[in-house]
Amino acid sequence: MDAAPPAIVVSEPVDIWDLWHTTSTITVRGNVTDPGLSEWYKVWVNGVEVEVPGGVLEVAVEVDEGESHIVIEAEDQAGHTSSGGVTVRVDTIAPDLRVITPAEETFFTTEIKVDLQGEVSDVNLGSLTLNGQPLSHVQGIFTRALNIYEGENVFEIEATDVAGNVATRTLVITKDLTPPQYTLEEAISGGEMLDLDGERYATGSGDVTVRISLTFSVSEHTTVTASGGRGQVAGTGDLDISFDLEEGENTVSFDLVDEAGNEASPLVYRITLDTTAPEILVPGSDEVITTKDRTLILMGRVEAGSTLKLNGDPLRVNADGTFSTQVDLSKGENVFLLEAEDQVGLTSSLELVVDRKDKGEESPGSGSFAAMLAMALISYVVLWSRGRKT
């Protein structure tokens, strides 16, 4: 006669109050035996019938987050029942760890200290550390003033719950007090670049756009900004900025700033574009000049810095571009050829014709011609000054 119920023995999991599992699938192992020697018996785990071949119990059970009780029930052929079970605690979720400040986890700075503030949340929080050392918190809020040294500073914040789930946040703060260093290479397209006594000049045909390309070679991440909206580029290595030149002097300032905010000394790049041949201004040169004088004071103006020749011979030009010389006149038509060359090699010429009359012929006197020439020169100088290249 069978008078004893089945016996249930659970070997795994162990029912310990502070033992936590990090998976929601729990494998239950044990044995079910029947002292009454029934020919058969049935076993249920959490209400689901399971097979126990040879009395060996091994079944995977899905449980909820937190504390759960796994119930095991058995019934033999005689209708005797028994029950057992085990309580398990499950935590599969890592702590919620947030860094509020600094806003970025990787950045550059010039500061000696950076304020750290953050928040951690977990009902089963076990520990909170900063680079392996305990980090105190009040109701989940933690703060710390971080010392920042020259170079790279790494701070690892780690939150661990009682089940062993880990959340980490890593800050990489680089202290940089050195302004960006760079080398500069320049190139030109559509024209030719000249160095005249340390000053940059460019020249071209006038109908082709002359463009300057500057390459800044930097060893650290740098932002290069050109004035006047001419462009901005950022990165490491070779950084290129190009811009078109306008006739006359072009001045462009460049600011170079690294990720820490260090600024290199501003670069002021100056280059003068000259695509216009020098203009030779001589009063009255648009018509034949007549005179009875044996000599003539030839006066005029040319682009400052230009060289000038009169009938092949060098003619002195003042610093402001004015010139004057006395020339001898032969009876009849005298032709004078003025040839100018500016600093960039552009040339121009002007032919002046003077007709020397006999004393008896009608022509302006030397005094009236000189006065006329002087007044005309003043008018030309004023007009030329207003319209000259800058």
CATH label of the domain that carries residue 105? 2.60.40.10
Domain final residue pick, 249, 273, 297: 273
Name 301's Cβ contacts closer than 8 Å, sequence gap at least 6. Answer: 280, 281, 320, 321, 322, 323, 377, 380, 381, 384
Name 40's Cβ contacts closer than 8 Å, sequence gap at least 6. Answer: 76, 77
Q: What angle do CA 117, 156, 139 make, to 5 degrees?
A: 40
Domain-located, residue 313: yes
Give exposure, 89-119, as e/b (b: 16+ Cβ within 10 Å): bbbeebbebebeebeeeeebbeeeebebebe
Structural domain of 41: 7-90
Pair (116, 166) in one structural domain: yes
Pair (299, 338) in one structural domain: yes
What pLDDT was estimated at residue 77? 83
Domain-located, residue 224: yes
Pair (269, 339) in one structural domain: no
If phi > 0 it is left, if psi is from -120 to 50 it is alpha, else beta; for residue 301 that is beta
Pair (100, 86) in one structural domain: no
Q: Are strands 66-76 and 41-45 parallel, antiparallel or unpaired?
A: antiparallel
Pair (295, 355) in one structural domain: yes
Domain final residue pick, 224, 249, 273: 273
Q: What angle do CA 324, 326, 330 make, to 5 degrees?
A: 140
What pLDDT was estimated at residue 18? 77
Give the number of domains in the chain. Answer: 4
* 96-101, strands of its sheet edge to edge: 96-101, 113-121, 141-147
Domain of 258: which CATH number?
2.60.40
Domain-located, residue 282: no
Residues in the chain predicted with pLDDT less than 70, given as ranges, are: 1-3, 36-40, 360-390
Give me the percent of the chain exceeding a pLDDT of 70.
Answer: 90
Pair (74, 145) in one structural domain: no
What pLDDT was estimated at residue 37? 59
Domain final residue pick, 90, 119, 152: 90
Pair (263, 215) in one structural domain: yes
Domain-located, residue 55: yes
What pLDDT was estimated at residue 38? 61
Pair (330, 251) in one structural domain: no
What pLDDT was estimated at residue 358? 84
